[in-house]
Chains A and B, each alone.
Chain A
């Protein structure tokens, strides 16, 4: 049985000189030592064959055990000194504009309440921007929207072309598109007004929500706002409604959120603990009628406000115009 001892020695030598992978091939592979040895069994005299087989198996098991141990053994390599404070090798990432970041957060929050983002013209007819929203041409409430008009002929039915001064043009357009409630719509768009100062740019973004259904209460509007502010501004912030006036809602509200600095105690930056967030209200029956929805069966709420304003409230931006100066040093901060 010297041959087996010889095979074993050879296997041990291979094990010592090679890593796991090559040891395995050289010992148990096609032309490995054990495979070759097994083939030699036919050369062994017949009476010795059982013993030879047993011994060979025994040796094989021993080597297998060693091989297994070798596999779990830590590979030896020279130690490398790491400086964990040195910079990593990274991809150069770009930056999203603050307005896009806010839009994306808002959409995500309202998606969960079943609102979907829709899209309407940015240059639209007077009819959709005003007339259908219970604001006839002679109405002084129109003055609050410092509207840009587009040169060109009036449409006999829809009036002048305007740059939408708010996202509410989407209200009647959505009613026409959806045809039948329930409606849960979100509209986010560029809007335009003829004004510029530290809190106004002639172009800005507004977002608008519209919900129409059979039973919609003022409490539902409040609940929707609470849901939004908790997720957008944080759980410690709450909202309140104050009476206000918009022609396309009745009752109309102004929505306040507790100031992020003083959390409602009152400070220099807020009005007695509150910051104005935006406008809202229960959709006026005349607006539902404009959208061919029967106000005797359906009611709803709508809300809207400026994205830039919410960003300023969230990031302490001192001047809204910074958002549109596109200084790369500003853009790369966010």
Chain B
């Protein structure tokens, strides 16, 4: 939460000559951060970020306390002056006393309940100084009583409320939990239907207060109000938080109650409110003070071993310094047997719990900038990095292959999910999506890549893009599967280019990826697809993207895609590389062209060559595939480059001729191939 602090108001309680900007930078380094110093008319205003543990400093006086301790550690002159009237003794001033009859149904709801009635109130505008201070703090001035409640909250950090006492039936109030379905209209005119468990006050059968959040409209102060119930409480933070979440109301008061208020300071806040009310509205006190303390916080005493403090700081800080710092923050401190025993002030009761909290107080006021930087000394753990380090390298290699990396959202819409053809019980769905554009965790990257390709298709003709990210598939029990996937998309491309990338990747990651005909239908078209496997397991596939997807994105040309499950691949060991003897003599290289049926696959030809001609044939590469009507109907010509090599010397012409003859006859017999002369 951010609060605005007019510096002149701060100076009312913090007497010091230190300039506003200097004060701001001291504060940022040792306490709450001053995010901005704004000059508004003649006034400096601090815009301060308050963290949830330090709501005690989210007020003018709270911040004065904090600044005081920090200035003291800097040896600056400073004095802290408490707001007037906090110790004011509230005594009835009228004979005809108003009676407030309070019933708290469950004492865990409200830790402290204080109230007093004032009468003879004149509702009018607040004095200029109050209006000015409220407005500088970002609060609109309304009338003297409403302003007073806001003023107390800004000044002391304690929210309070004022009821028109004449609208409270017979002065009777019941503080209880709401029942489901009860209704209330708040001060701002909004109507709420409550769930069970919201803290409310009932009076005469109606709800008059949404406790700790906002008052009811039916009991609010109007111009005709004469008698007022001033009301200062502390509520169960957890119930307040649940209520604000359930009703989606954020108020300054609720934020403070959620984080807890200083229970001991509540009567002081009421006294200060009465003191001010008498000044701004001629009020008289017309009831006894009600103060029901049902849950007095225990005073804690925390021990901190000095050695532990030094081990956090990295050096020995003299104990006098530690003690002085803690005392300036309002702690009561004792020192015995190398331990610091500290009792936090009431306003720090909620956030100071352990010895490490005391360490923080000492270290921050001493100054983090004064702690020397060091490089960690201990042993380096004997750990191996996860696969993500291989991914970093792989990405770099893909870039060198000419692929450009994209990063797309892992959360997708219902429309994109439908394109992925994922069975419903595998889909990971969000319970609280931001919009319907971001509703499901994607089960594939291909849809996202198709979207990017479509988005850029009129900017770049030939796109080669990739992404490495997780996909998410629900399991019956436990965490969803979240494997890391590599996906590639190529526009203006073809099957063989896609296959080439897969082959390159196989080499880069050092695994023997095999490519074979795709049996199962995926997001690609069956006749232009292939599966990728590592060992016996399918780890991916590639091919021309499904026409439903290209139609959906209005792609203007074919899109070839590749998807490989890296988690599965990286979990398998790399094929070890071992030395093979380098042939001393060069190979004899010959090309052979054969005319075969169109349907015959290159793989079959190569397989046959391997079977027939080893060991003399050490390598066979297909260097050309050629189709022409002259070759005959449904025929193609395949040219293979053959490498003949042997250990003892160059193969002789007759060695080569024999093997070549075997190859030709095998091809002729098995595949009715015709050898071109």
Given A123-B479, A215-B377: A328 in contact with B430 (beta carbons within 8 A): no
**B404 A331 Cβ-Cβ under 8 A:** yes
A10 at the interface (CB under 8 A from B): no
0 or 1 for each of A208-252: is its CB under 8 Å from B? (1 = yes):
000101111111101111110000000000001111110000111
**B409 A202 Cβ-Cβ under 8 A:** yes
Given A107-B392, A203-B409, A215-B378: A118 in contact with B399 (beta carbons within 8 A): no
Q: Which of B131-139, B308-316, B531-539, B554-562 touches A?
A: B308-316
Nearest CB in chain A to that of B408: its residue: A326
C-alpha spacing A170/B395, complex, angstroms: 24
**A95 B404 Cβ-Cβ under 8 A:** yes
Distance (Å) between the CB of B504 and the closest chain A CB? 13
C-alpha spacing A226/B432, complex, angstroms: 40
**B480 A161 Cβ-Cβ under 8 A:** yes
C-alpha spacing A119/B388, complex, angstroms: 7
C-alpha spacing A225/B441, complex, angstroms: 34
0 or 1 for each of B405-436: is its CB under 8 Å from A? (1 = yes):
11111110000000000000000111111100
0 or 1 for each of A309-328: is its CB under 8 Å from B? (1 = yes):
00000000000000110111
**B406 A250 Cβ-Cβ under 8 A:** no
0 or 1 for each of A149-181: is its CB under 8 Å from B? (1 = yes):
111100100001101000000000000001001
C-alpha spacing A280/B195, complex, angstroms: 39
B618 at the interface (CB under 8 A from A): no
- Chain A residues positioned under 8 Å from B378 (CB to CB): 182, 213-216
**A271 B387 Cβ-Cβ under 8 A:** no
A38 at the interface (CB under 8 A from B): no
C-alpha spacing A160/B383, complex, angstroms: 31
- Chain B residues positioned under 8 Å from A225 (CB to CB): 373
0 or 1 for each of B368-388: is its CB under 8 Å from A? (1 = yes):
110111111111110111111
B54 at the interface (CB under 8 A from A): yes
**A94 B377 Cβ-Cβ under 8 A:** no
The listed residue (B384, B403, B480) touching A116 by CB distance below 8 A is B384
A100 at the interface (CB under 8 A from B): yes
**A220 B374 Cβ-Cβ under 8 A:** yes
Chain B contact residue count (CB 8 A cutoff)? 94
**B407 A97 Cβ-Cβ under 8 A:** yes
- Chain B residues positioned under 8 Å from A226 (CB to CB): 373
Given A121-B479, A152-B474: A95 in contact with B399 (beta carbons within 8 A): yes
**B459 A150 Cβ-Cβ under 8 A:** no
**B432 A149 Cβ-Cβ under 8 A:** yes
**B368 A117 Cβ-Cβ under 8 A:** no
C-alpha spacing A116/B392, complex, angstroms: 13
**B407 A99 Cβ-Cβ under 8 A:** yes
Distance (Å) between the CB of A138 and the closest chain B CB? 4
- Chain A residues positioned under 8 Å from B375 (CB to CB): 113, 220, 223-224, 227
Q: Which of A15-23, A47-55, A61-69, A190-198 touches B?
A: A190-198
**A219 B258 Cβ-Cβ under 8 A:** no
The listed residue (B32, B398, B402, B409) touching A91 by CB distance below 8 A is B402
- Chain B residues positioned under 8 Å from A100 (CB to CB): 392, 395, 405, 407
**A329 B459 Cβ-Cβ under 8 A:** yes
**B374 A219 Cβ-Cβ under 8 A:** yes
Given A123-B472, A218-B368: A96 in contact with B429 (beta carbons within 8 A): no
**B356 A251 Cβ-Cβ under 8 A:** yes
C-alpha spacing A160/B438, complex, angstroms: 19
Chain A contact residue count (CB 8 A cutoff)? 90
B12 at the interface (CB under 8 A from A): no
Given A123-B480, A216-B376: A272 in contact with B368 (beta carbons within 8 A): no
A132 at the interface (CB under 8 A from B): no
Most buried by B among A118, A141, A181: A118
Within 8 A of B (CB), among A122-158: 122-125, 138, 140-141, 144, 148-152, 155
Given A94-B402, A107-B389: A184 in contact with B381 (beta carbons within 8 A): yes
- Chain B residues positioned under 8 Å from A328 (CB to CB): 404, 456, 459-460, 463, 465
**A94 B404 Cβ-Cβ under 8 A:** yes
Nearest CB in chain A to that of B448: its residue: A326
Distance (Å) between the CB of A215 and the closest chain B CB? 6
Q: Which of B87-95, B359-367, B596-604 touches A?
A: B359-367
A332 at the interface (CB under 8 A from B): yes
- Chain A residues positioned under 8 Å from B371 (CB to CB): 217-219, 222
- Chain B residues positioned under 8 Å from A272 (CB to CB): 25
The listed residue (B31, B51, B311) touching A299 by CB distance below 8 A is B311
**B33 A219 Cβ-Cβ under 8 A:** no
**A95 B30 Cβ-Cβ under 8 A:** no
Distance (Å) between the CB of B12 and the closest chain A CB? 25
A285 at the interface (CB under 8 A from B): yes
Nearest CB in chain A to that of B428: its residue: A150
**A331 B392 Cβ-Cβ under 8 A:** no
- Chain B residues positioned under 8 Å from A72 (CB to CB): none
C-alpha spacing A138/B260, complex, angstroms: 13
Distance (Å) between the CB of A303 and the closest chain B CB? 12
Given A123-B482, A245-B51, A250-B357: A219 in contact with B372 (beta carbons within 8 A): yes
C-alpha spacing A9/B63, complex, angstroms: 108
A277 at the interface (CB under 8 A from B): no
A302 at the interface (CB under 8 A from B): no
- Chain A residues positioned under 8 Å from B403 (CB to CB): 94
**A94 B405 Cβ-Cβ under 8 A:** yes
B176 at the interface (CB under 8 A from A): no
**B388 A202 Cβ-Cβ under 8 A:** no
**A116 B28 Cβ-Cβ under 8 A:** no
The listed residue (B368, B388, B396, B398) touching A253 by CB distance below 8 A is B368
The listed residue (B53, B399, B432) touching A194 by CB distance below 8 A is B432
Nearest CB in chain A to that of B427: its residue: A151
Most buried by B among A141, A181, A196, A202: A202
B401 at the interface (CB under 8 A from A): yes
C-alpha spacing A114/B368, complex, angstroms: 25
A93 at the interface (CB under 8 A from B): yes
Most buried by A among B369, B405, B452, B459: B405
0 or 1 for each of B228-244: is its CB under 8 Å from A? (1 = yes):
00000000011001100
C-alpha spacing A196/B459, complex, angstroms: 27
The listed residue (B51, B407, B428, B432) touching A326 by CB distance below 8 A is B407
C-alpha spacing A195/B438, complex, angstroms: 11
Most buried by A among B238, B368, B411, B466: B368
**B410 A190 Cβ-Cβ under 8 A:** yes
C-alpha spacing A117/B384, complex, angstroms: 8
- Chain B residues positioned under 8 Å from A202 (CB to CB): 409, 411, 434, 438
A188 at the interface (CB under 8 A from B): yes
Distance (Å) between the CB of B67 and the closest chain A CB? 13
A2 at the interface (CB under 8 A from B): no
- Chain A residues positioned under 8 Å from B386 (CB to CB): 116-119
**B238 A138 Cβ-Cβ under 8 A:** yes
B455 at the interface (CB under 8 A from A): yes
A103 at the interface (CB under 8 A from B): yes
- Chain A residues positioned under 8 Å from B377 (CB to CB): 215, 220
The listed residue (A118, A141, A160) touching B385 by CB distance below 8 A is A118
16 additional A-B pairs beyond A119-B386, A195-B434, A241-B369, beta carbons within 8 Å, are A93-B399, A116-B386, A117-B388, A118-B386, A122-B470, A140-B52, A150-B441, A163-B411, A184-B380, A190-B470, A192-B411, A196-B434, A243-B364, A245-B53, A250-B359, A254-B33
A selection of 25 A-B contacts at a CB cut-off of 8 Å is A93-B402, A94-B403, A96-B399, A100-B405, A104-B395, A113-B375, A114-B381, A116-B383, A118-B388, A138-B241, A140-B237, A141-B52, A151-B429, A185-B383, A190-B469, A194-B434, A217-B314, A217-B374, A219-B371, A223-B376, A242-B28, A243-B360, A271-B36, A324-B408, A328-B463
A-B interface, 7 closest residue pairs, ranked by CB to CB distance from nearest:
A217-B314, A251-B360, A245-B51, A114-B380, A213-B378, A119-B386, A223-B373
List residues of A whose CB falls within 8 A of some B CB. 91-97, 99-100, 103-104, 107, 113-114, 116-119, 121-125, 138, 140-141, 144, 148-152, 155, 160-161, 163, 178, 181-185, 188, 190, 192, 194-196, 202-203, 211, 213-220, 222-227, 240-245, 250-254, 271-272, 282, 284-285, 299, 323-324, 326-329, 331-332
